[in-house]
Amino acid sequence: MTNRSRKLLLTLIVLFLGLVTWQRFAEAGPFQAPAWVLLVMLGIVFSGYMWRHTSKMERKESDHWIEQEGRVFIRRMEEERRKKEEERERSQVSS
């Protein structure tokens, strides 16, 4: 799922929940929903924000770890290549 589609999905969910809440409590007057409903809506928005923030941080940590492991792998490959070249030189010199 791309970043853009995640933003769109999150926006649609928040819009849907907001419209459902507004429709449910519209009879009492505009924006006169009970306090617990407003707190729940704020909790949902905050949870979404924290989910997005932590997933972004985890992705950065994962990318950093993958980059470090890639460097180790490349270093090993270079050492093996160097050893093979040294063996070839030795075999050419001795023959």
The model's pLDDT over 13-30, given as tens digits with 9 standing for 90+, comes to 888 887 787 777 766 665
For residue 17, the model assigns a pLDDT of 81
Domain ranges, ordered by start, for the chain: 3-94
Cα–Cα distance between 44 and 50 in angstroms, integer? 10
Indicate the residue type of 90. Answer: R
Under DSSP, is residue 1 helix (H, G, I), strand (E, B) or coil? Answer: coil
- 57 vs 28 pLDDT, higher one: 57
Tell me which residue of 56, 49, 63 sits closest to 3, measured CA to CA: 56
Is the pTM higher than 0.85?
no
Amino acid type, 26: A
- Supply 24's token pair: 């449910």
Amino acid at 83: K
**76 pLDDT band (50/70/90 cuts)?**
very high
